[in-house]
Amino acid sequence: MVLKGKKITVGITGSIAAYKGCELIRYLQKKGATVRACITPSGREFIGELTLKALTGEEVLSHWKDGKTGLEHIFWARWSDAFVIAPATANTIAKLSAGITDNFLTSMALAYEGSIVVAPAMNCQMYKNPATQENLKKLKERGYLVVEPSSGELACGEEGEGRLAEIDHIYTELLRSLLPDYLKGKRVLITAGGTREYFDPIRYISNASSGQMGYSLAKMVYALGGKPVLISAQTCLEKPYGAEFIQVVSARDMYDAVMENLDRADVVIMNSAVADFRPASYSGSKLKKDRESPEVRLEANPDILKAVGERKRDGQVVIGFAAESDNILENAKGKLERKNLDYIVANRLDVFSRDEHSGWILDRDGNVVEIPPMDKESSALYILEKIFKR
């Protein structure tokens, strides 16, 4: 779990979205974190301290005088590896901007030395107000990480920007506040998912790739300070927060998208399970099952990884993936050399469409690093850290 051993404080303010702070606490706990909660006096009008105490198993503080010593805002600031305020009201954002410390949350914020994650939630007109925007600008300039709200129907019945960001988006920004910036400023091109090769309007040839690893890599690239560009075949996954997203369908679509973006990339991670072959012909109408069984002739798709290796420029890092059923390391090493890669991640076929991943990282010098079994999000971080920590 990515957050195993991390200590996080969640601050909740007086917004109708306060209940989502409870969801965030549970989400972070499932990722392995130890969580404490503090709440503003107005936040207590929306959610009770007993609820937060039951969730965290910890004392819940509201006023800066709360606690045994009256210095808990200092002690909590030192205890916390990360501090996230979600939801953050216009009032609390204004206080943070001005350095006002009239409650426990704002007092802790002034004492906290790291990057604080702030997730605004309010009426769309309040959010757009120049005062709120100026306050958020000041916070960003001071190193706060702001998770912009989403658009949709608000509690007041209006439509617009102001809804609390998705929990996973807040979590991803929180990771960025916690992890080292090994990829700071680096543009990282990532491919994901299994391509589809249609032979009529609804039938196609594909594979069992879920796209989970590629999407996890995009998330972790952002968390490590990078600029992910995700080229994805069709999946059931939501677009990763912080990533430039390019949707494709077939191997030829992916080839075109990769070639178009290749020269701007500092790092290329080819994780997609690209179909090696496509139907030689396409029927514009659905093939009926009452006819004789049709023959589907196949022809080769472009070898995207080989093309990337041939066009690789000096200083550009190219990482491939190899899913093998036997002679895994030997076959992966051969692929690394043939395709002119810098690294290759080898794994068994049974990682497809599963939440867990394991395998090996091979480099051009013959080094092999084992990837122990872990969830794909943790594995993505493990792979990136092993390669770029150097």
Residues with active-site annotation: 156
Q: How far is CA 21 from CA 96, 154, 232, 249, in A?
A: 19, 17, 31, 37
Angle of helix 376-388 relative to helix 212-223, nearest 10 degrees, comes to 50
What is the rounded CA–CA span in Å between residue 166 and residue 177?
17
What is the rounded CA–CA span in Å between residue 237 and residue 247?
12
What is the rounded CA–CA span in Å between residue 181 and residue 264?
20
What is the rounded CA–CA span in Å between residue 199 and residue 278?
8
Burial class (CB in 10 A: 0-12, 13-18, 19+), 49: middle
What is the rounded CA–CA span in Å between residue 142 and residue 160?
27
| Of 158, 112, 98, 102, nearest in space to 8 by CA | 112
C-alpha dihedral over 137, 142, 147, 149, to 10 degrees? Answer: -30
Q: Are 341 and 290 in contact (CB under 8 A)?
A: no
